[in-house]
Structures are given as structure tokens and as C-alpha cells.
Structure 1
């Protein structure tokens, strides 16, 4: 059974995203690009960090002065770069955590997706380590508080030969060598982070790491404005001979330190490590339905065109040299541990054609649990008996808006694994065989697709911009594409009513007398 709390949160997420769609447009919705925005903020942090490294003085006596100089004497440039560095770091933490929450709510973290989720957990530690060491480099009172607290936190583990906290007993104990080591760590950790981010998206085909241009411009202007209005400021310089005074912490990076102060290192470590282990194991703790069988290739019907490899969202289909006497050089091979059974590969196969003269419609690659032949038969069955004006066949995604409530004397519905598994030739087939007067294709909103790329591929195929294309002779006024999340049931019903009204105003198509409606099951 589904979790009612999670369902309520997911519906709330979809409503928030609907608001963003209305405000900035679907293409620029930041909720659809949280991962890509994290990449963008990383590059801002990296570029601004390189600039700040140039004037930085790696000595205990002058570290604070070097940062203070560019913040005050060069506030118009150096100060703004420092503020950009700080606020872009905070923004990366925010988008990273929102990305994690969103993937959990949409259930895109278990099954074959475990790798991206599992490798994402170490990224959290690396991001926080980068941020905390960056605050140390300022060497103000906040840095002193973080340095002493972190040292005592690490000393509690008892794995170091000597106490780390002894380096902060007094001014004489702190040497310039510490800052040289610190800046090395602050540079090395982000480099490891970059490599880990690459590993994180390794199993995702066509991973988007570049946000849309309007979103980039808007985010950049926001960071620049924030840097000018509320520039990053240092606390008074650190003094190890006295305790720190009132601090203004960055809660994006320092949320665990008050817990350490009040409950001690054992509780702080238990929370940090326990949360990380829990997150890492979530893909195997998730309640989910039985995994569907992966796609299967039919060697006699595969001509090695390779289109299925381009359309697979997770790189589960690859081309391999062919060893038989078919005359084709390559054949598609499915990697079962990466396949989500979305069916996009089946829709892309050039053998997915309901018009081919055959008792059974066989394709080069198919989904065993929902084969193309079964899809044709179900469409014929769902359209059989439709009466009245404006007969419509609704084809949609099982993860989007519920379709059953749309059924009626003039409306047939069929839910697919993903709208991306719908071959355009089936739309042609429905209209050509007079199975319906119109076809309404409904898909999850782009960015909310359970299988990532279903809405995009469907839109491009129907527009004739991606193979397989919807045939040019198919009347476009009898085909409609409607985006609908699971919370937009009423909107989809209204769109269907408007579509049927539009169909009623169209002249009836002229069909050959030999055209007969067929029932396949």
C-alpha cells in the first residue's frame, strides 16, 4: 500500500511545480533542473574560489587580513566575488537537498536507479567538508569555533595518533603549516567531489548538467544582487587566547554544530553517520511492486539500426557486433540490471508497425509484460463499441493522471508503462482504421517523468522532430498532446472535453469503403 504522507507530499510538490510552470514556463522551471543547477553552482564556486586563492595569504597572522582587504578595499569586485563564492555554495547545498527530497518523493531512487542514489550520499559529505574548510580559511571567530569544534569532534573517534585539538590551544600552537595544509584540503576535496559527481551520473543516459539559459541568467542575477545587497562579512579575527563571542553561523553548512555543543560528539556522530547509512540503504528498503521483466531483443527482427540505444534513458541498450548470417553488422543487447521496462526502446524500433501484414506484431525489441502485439490488441478492444460524436482514444502514462474516470460511451482509455513507449504509428493506425475520431495522448509533465525522457521523446516524435516520426499524412487536428500530473485530473478532463468539442467541428474524413474497424481481442 502507498504511504499517505508521502502521497500528500508528492501532490504538494506537483502543485508547487505547477505554480513554477505558470510563473516562469515549463522550460525554465527550476524544480525540473535541481541536479543541473547544483552543477552550475559548483562551477561558480570553483571559478570564484580560484580568484580568491590569488590574494589569499596562507599564514596564521595574515589570513584574516588578506580576506578582509578584498572584502572592504575591493568591495566592488573582490568583495562581490567572495559573496558569490559564499552564496553559490549555499545555493548548491539547497538545490542538492531539494534534489534528494524530490527524487525520493517521485520514487526515482530504487530498483535499477540505486546506483545514482547510493553514489549521491558521499557527495553530501564532500560538499559539507568543502564548505566547512572554506570557512576555516577566513580565520575569524566563526572559523575558530568551527576549527575547535571539528577537532574535538574528530578526536572523539580516537583514530589519530595525536590530538588534533591541541593545535588550537593557544596562538603559539597554531602554525602557518596548518593553513597550507588547510588550503590543500579545501582544493582537493572539491576535485574529488567533481569526480564523484561524474560517477553519480555515470549510469544515466543523456544526463542534464547544463540548466536552461533563462534559468542560468536568473540565478546569476539573483546571486549578484544578493552579493551586492548583503555582502559576505567576516567576524572579528580569531584569537585562541579567548573564547568566541556571538556568532552568525551559516546554517546551510553548520546545522550539526549546535547539536554537538548541546549533546556531545557521540550524538552528533550517531546522527551524521546514522542518517548517511539510512540514506544509503533506502533503495533496498523501499516498498515497491514486483520488478517487471526487462526488454528483450528478437534477433530475427533486429536490423541493428541503433535508434533504441539513443532513446533509452538509462543506457540499458547497447549495440554489439553481430555473429550470425543476417547481413547486419550489429545487434541490440539489453543489460537487464539497467533496464526499467519503460518501453521507449520498443517505440523507437522501426519494426514497431501495426500495419505490417502479420498475425502477430513482432518487433526488434519488446517488453515481455506489455508487448507491442498486446498493445495493438488492447487498443482495438478499448475502441470497440465506442459510439456517438467525437470518439476519442486516450493513451497515457500510469504514473500521470488517472485515466479510468475518463472512460465513457465515446471514450476509451489505455494506461501505458510510460507515454514514451507509444509508437506514433499506433496513432496513425487508430485514425486510419476508424477506431476513433481522435487520439488524446497524455503524459507526465517534462521533469516529472518516472522514466525521465518519456514526455520529451513523445513530443518530439509527434512533432516530426525525432524518429520514429508521426506520418505527415496524419491529420494533426485529430491528435492532441496534454501534460497532466497526478494532481491534474480535472484539468485533463477539461482538456478532453475541449478536444471532443473541436473534433465535432471538423468535417468527417473521407475513408475508402474497404476500411473496416477491426477488433483484435
Structure 2
């Protein structure tokens, strides 16, 4: 058997999700699982919230362009032009207006769910801070863009919004006179005001596109449109709602009269009933909104948690190298230490390149999900023209590049590819207790480890013949890990990961994207068509079911092994 150069003790595995997020995370996972039962994991809307957001934007741009062609930027003409579209062009302009209205509501709903999903799945800290901050900035801009759309209709609903909002803005030094004076009587309403509203209604979505690009710029292969099997039903649903309950205007705005009872859009006008019920003044409104928003922006730095690379002892621990070089007694010692600790160890930290070992093969570049790796001109005297460079601010600490590197040129928390191989060797070199027959690689975020791992034996519950290695993600599994496990004596390989598109490091999404594009180059353990390799993409609520399925797989591999003999 080939020598495994390094065995390293990692840090004790702490809960992956910060405690303040765990209640919300439990609700989120439960909801996603229920939607998986209805839509299947490949079409679960929860896994495409970002793509659906872009989809609604495309609908808004197309319908908005049509409405703009007929819109009259005048206090009197604005209402009449919208009425013309709604009534005289009922099945063209009317549908366009209704689609525009309901897509706006849909956009706000999806963004809110997306923000909550990102928050409670802990995908907003460390290297993901830019996506979070831009997303939080996008939220109020989206709200204000939709909000200004109600102004442009200039009916009684718009009149209510104008008078209430102007009082809130009066305390801001944006005008020499209070803004509320513009809405005292009809004659004081300036057409220039509608021009600026219309300009803002068009300019803000353009700004949203720019922010959307910044939002996904650090993500490899971002999805900006949902699968057609999901997008088409959304479009059909919008059309059906537009026909059944078309968007209609209220009575024309008349500043000489008080507005009576009106229906409000709770996605955009919810603050107004709250302000009225609690009788909040403008200063209090700005203080509450500003304070809450400021905290929301700073959440990546406020929520407890840390990167392993920031620890003073990151990478510290004993390194024992060369099992074949130090003899069986040392191998037993290694196995004993692993029996005590390794099943609960997960390498964490920013990946680093050891330049002297880098051969510029580009394998790390292909597997990185976050575009943290670049290939740059060589900076040393090695006989290669390029070298791999890792941007620590973009690194997601997934470990994909570590096991992809054939030359041990990349390490994370002191772990290289050979470190992983060394742990596998030690697991199968133990002389005390039963020798494992199956190697199980388990994603640390896929399931509650207490529900499947026997902490005393460091094996799967009820299966002493299944060795366990917990990984940051099953995307870490490389051909080397699979082949080495089989050489070490494993009769089968088990990989346990999260649901298809629920991967914290976007590995499953990358797999699906590559499969759709017919790209055979990246290695995925799922593509190894061997009877002795089994991949389970599961819900964290299925611990007992997972153990049952793994036990059946272990039994099958044992039968196959006997038949071979």
C-alpha cells in the first residue's frame, strides 16, 4: 500500500450553525423538507430564490417598458393614461399592468424569504459578507422602487401615500420648504415631481441590476433564471392572477378631499398602519428604521462565530508522518488516537498554497466554488510559468482544492491531501476492535451527527464495521480519497451529503450545472458507476432512515465480496 505522509489531529467539532440561528434554521430546514416532498429537491423553490428574484426582475423590465410607452407624466394625465391601459387595452395593457403589479409583490416576497434563508442557513458571514451587505441594500431599494409605482397611478391610494410619506420626509434637509406643502391643494402639485418620480422608478431598477451583479460576482456559475419547469408555472400563475383579479385604480386623487377607506398592498404599505396605530412621529420612524437597518447590515460581524484561520492555535497539533516508514506499532498508536478523536474532527480554515510544491496544474481552479483561486505569473524560480494564488477574503473554507491537488501544494488548517489519506490509512490499520469494512464520508452540515454516530466507538450507530470521516462537504471527496480507501481495505464507500441544492458550498449546484452543460471534466463521486460506491443526499430529519439504508448497503457489499472470493 502507498505511504500516507501525514496524520494530523484536528480541532474538536463545534456546532456548525451559531446558537442564535439554530431555532430559525430548524424551521427553515423543516419548510424546505416539506417543499421537497411537493416539488422534489430539483425543483424546490427554496433552492432557487435568487434565480426567481432575477426572473421577476425580467418580467418587471419587460412590462414596465410597455407601460412607459403610454404613461403621461402629468398630475391629470397620469391617471387617465393608466386608466386607458387598464380599461381600453384590457387584454394587453391591462394584463401588462397586472403582471407588473403582481411581479412586484412576488419580487418582494421572494427577496424577504431569500434574506431569511441566507440568514438562518448561516450563509452571510466571513467570505459571504459582500453578498449579504449588497442584498440588504437591495431590499429597501426594491421596496422604494415598487413604492414609487403607486405614486405614478395618482389615485386615492397614491394620495394617501403622498401625504403620509411627505410628513416623514419633512424632517430631512432635502428641500428649502417642507415636502408636505406640495400636497396641500391640487394647484400646488408640480408636473416636475412626476417626472422625477418616473425617472426614479426607472433608475432604481437599473441600480438594482448593478447591485445584483455585485451580489453574485463572488459566486462561480450563479443562477440568474430558474429552471423552465419552475419558471413556466410561475409565469402561468401570474397570468392567471392577472386575469382573475386584474390590478385596478381607485378614484382619481383629489387633494381638496380627505381619503376614505382604501385597500393597501401589505408588501409595500405595511409601515403606514403601524405608524398610525402607534402614533409615531417622523423622528421615531427614522430612528427605528435606521437602527434596525444598521444592525441588519452589520449582522455578519455581530453574529458569534469565527473562522478557524483566526484562531491562535489554528493548525496546531501533532503530526505523525509515514505509516509505512514508522512501523506497525506507530500505526496502532495512530489508530488509537483516531479512535479517541478523529471521528469528530473537521479541518477548517482558509486554504493556503505551498508555492514550492505548486506545479501549476490548474486543478484547484476548476473545483473552487467561490472564484477564490487565480492562476498568476510565477513569482519564484521554479520551472513553471504560472502558480496558483488563493485570495483569503474569498475563500469559503470548503476544502475542495485541498484534495484536488495531486502535489500536496494546498493545505487548510494544516491538512493536505496526504493528511486525509493518512487518516484513512489509520482508520483501517487499527488492531483493537473490529476492522472497518466500509468507509463513510459525511458532510458536517448534512445531518445531526449525534443521530448517526456512536461517540464512544466513533463509528456509525450499530455499525462497528463502518469507519467515519466527517468532511466540510462531500465535494472534498476526490478520486484519490476513494481509491485510497479501497486500497486500505474498504469493500465499499458511502458519501453522505445534504439535499441536492442545499449544499452550503454550492457543490451540488455546480454538479447539476456541469451535468446540464455536458461537462465531464470535474470529478464528482456520484459519477463513479460502481456498485460499491453509494451516495446519500438526505434531509437532516432522516437519521434513522439513513442508518437503515447504509446498513443494507454494507450487507450488499459483504455479499458481493464473498461472491468475488
Contact 2:219 2:369 in 1 (8 A): yes
Map of 1:393 onto structure 2? 439
Q: Secondary structure at the match of 1:337?
A: coil
Q: Secondary structure at the match of 1:413?
A: strand
Deviation at 1:315?
Answer: 1.5
Map of 1:252 onto structure 2? 267
Deviation at 1:105?
Answer: 0.6
The whole-number CA distance in structure 2 between the counterparts of 1:200 and 1:340 is: 16
1:253-292 equivalences under 5 Å are: 253-261=268-276, 262-292=279-309
The one of 426, 437, 445 aligned to 2:491: 437
CA shift in 2, pair 1:464/1:79, >3 Å: closer
Map of 1:336 onto structure 2? 392
The whole-number CA distance in structure 2 between the counterparts of 1:475 and 1:61 is: 69
The one of 446, 449, 453 aligned to 2:500: 446
Contact 2:365 2:374 in 1 (8 A): yes
Contact 2:377 2:387 in 1 (8 A): yes
Deviation at 1:19?
Answer: 2.1
Number of equivalences = 497
Map of 1:315 onto structure 2? 371
Structure 2 residue 520 is matched with structure 1 residue 465:
yes
The one of 374, 377, 394 aligned to 2:419: 374
Deviation at 1:346?
Answer: 1.8
Deviation at 1:469?
Answer: 6.1
Structure 2 residue 410 is matched with structure 1 residue 365:
yes
Deviation at 1:492?
Answer: 1.7
The one of 397, 402, 414 aligned to 1:346: 402
Give deviations 1:205-256, integer Å, cap 9, x for gaps: 2222121111111111111111111111111110000011111111111111
Deviation at 1:63?
Answer: 1.1
Deviation at 1:157?
Answer: 2.4
The whole-number CA distance in structure 2 between the counterparts of 1:510 and 1:134 is: 72
Deviation at 1:328?
Answer: 2.3
Contact 1:64 1:139 in 2 (8 A): yes
The whole-number CA distance in structure 2 between the counterparts of 1:499 and 1:459 is: 29
Q: Secondary structure at the match of 2:135?
A: helix
Contact 1:259 1:268 in 2 (8 A): no
Structure 1 stretch 480-489 or stretch 213-222: which is displaced more? 480-489
The whole-number CA distance in structure 1 between the counterparts of 2:519 and 2:219 is: 25
Map of 1:23 onto structure 2? 38
Structure 1 stretch 204-213 or stretch 39-48: which is displaced more? 204-213
Give deviations 1:52-75, integer Å, cap 9, x for gaps: 011111111121111112112222
CA shift in 2, pair 1:455/1:137, >3 Å: closer
The one of 481, 496, 520 aligned to 2:535: 481
Map of 1:120 onto structure 2? 135
The whole-number CA distance in structure 1 between the counterparts of 2:561 and 2:112 is: 53
CA shift in 2, pair 1:433/1:475, >3 Å: farther
Structure 2 residue 24 is matched with structure 1 residue 9:
yes
CA shift in 2, pair 1:494/1:75, >3 Å: farther
Q: Secondary structure at the match of 1:76?
A: coil
Q: Secondary structure at the match of 2:266?
A: coil
Map of 1:355 onto structure 2? none
Map of 2:10 onto structure 1? none
Higher relative contact order (Cα pairs below 8 Å, separated by 6+ residues)? 2
The one of 344, 352, 357 aligned to 1:301: 357
Q: Secondary structure at the match of 1:483?
A: strand
The whole-number CA distance in structure 2 between the counterparts of 1:316 and 1:485 is: 29
Map of 1:516 onto structure 2? none
Tell me the TM-score normalized by structure 2.
Answer: 0.82
Structure 2 residue 253 is matched with structure 1 residue 198:
no
Deviation at 1:385?
Answer: 4.7
Deviation at 1:14?
Answer: 1.6
The whole-number CA distance in structure 2 between the counterparts of 1:384 and 1:397 is: 23
The whole-number CA distance in structure 2 between the counterparts of 1:118 and 1:291 is: 22
CA shift in 2, pair 1:459/1:154, >3 Å: closer
Contact 1:428 1:471 in 2 (8 A): no
Give the superposed CA RMSD: 2.6
Give deviations 1:178-201, integer Å, cap 9, x for gaps: 222211111111111211111122
The one of 470, 482, 486 aligned to 1:427: 482
Deviation at 1:266?
Answer: 2.2
CA shift in 2, pair 1:119/1:320, >3 Å: same
Q: Secondary structure at the match of 1:320?
A: strand
CA shift in 2, pair 1:110/1:469, >3 Å: closer
The whole-number CA distance in structure 2 between the counterparts of 1:504 and 1:281 is: 53
Map of 1:416 onto structure 2? 471
Contact 1:418 1:454 in 2 (8 A): no
Deviation at 1:142?
Answer: 0.5
Q: Secondary structure at the match of 2:74?
A: coil
Structure 2 residue 185 is matched with structure 1 residue 170:
yes
The whole-number CA distance in structure 2 between the counterparts of 1:366 and 1:291 is: 13
Deviation at 1:300?
Answer: 3.4
Map of 2:320 onto structure 1? none
Deviation at 1:171?
Answer: 0.8
Contact 1:422 1:458 in 2 (8 A): no
CA shift in 2, pair 1:287/1:217, >3 Å: same
Q: Secondary structure at the match of 1:327?
A: coil
The whole-number CA distance in structure 1 between the counterparts of 2:64 and 2:526 is: 53
CA shift in 2, pair 1:469/1:239, >3 Å: closer
Which structure 1 residue ranges, 5 or more long, are not aligned?
Answer: 352-361, 512-521
Contact 1:348 1:467 in 2 (8 A): no
Tell me the TM-score normalized by structure 1.
Answer: 0.89
The whole-number CA distance in structure 2 between the counterparts of 1:150 and 1:341 is: 46
The whole-number CA distance in structure 2 between the counterparts of 1:107 and 1:469 is: 25
Which structure 2 residue ranges, 5 or more long, are not aligned?
Answer: 1-14, 310-348, 455-459
Map of 2:344 onto structure 1? none
